[in-house]
Amino acid sequence: MSIKENYVEKIISGEKIYEPRRSIFKREVENVIIYATAPSKEIVGMFECKEIIKDSPENIWNDFSDKLGIDKESFFKYFEGKDEGFALKIDNFIPLKPPKSTDEIKDFRAPQSFKYVDNEKMSIFGF
């Protein structure tokens, strides 16, 4: 899952416990690998995906604003034009130390939002 570097830092620090998303997985997902976007362009860690909340952006903000790691204006700009959204609970975050540069991963293409990785390919990313 692609996440902007400033939000990744908040996940690492524990300030960000929910990841807001405009769209979500169609398949069942157990673990989410975090790709920090430019300028880092690194695989920085992984978390378990045990809970996905589907609700209106207003309700997500009202319920989780202190755990989203984003300011109100940016949050609602992100969800502009959407009647529903999602919040992924970040459980058991495991940092990858050191983070793995995507330059080291053959044929790596950064996902626009997310992409699926088979369990047997997890080792490519350092897990």
Phi, psi of 92 (to 5 degrees): 50, 55
Cα 53 to its chain centre, rounded Å, is 14
Instruction: Look at the chain and count its residues.
Output: 127
Contact in structure between 87 and 65 (CB atoms under 8 Å): no
Q: What is the pLDDT along the chain (127 residues), one digit of tens a residue?
A: 999 999 999 999 999 999 999 999 999 899 999 999 999 999 999 999 999 999 999 999 999 999 999 999 999 999 999 999 999 999 999 999 999 999 888 888 887 788 888 777 777 777 7
DSSP class of 67: G
CA atoms within 13 A on the CB side of 86: 12
Domains of the chain: 2-115 (2.30.130.30)
Cα 68 to its chain centre, rounded Å, is 11
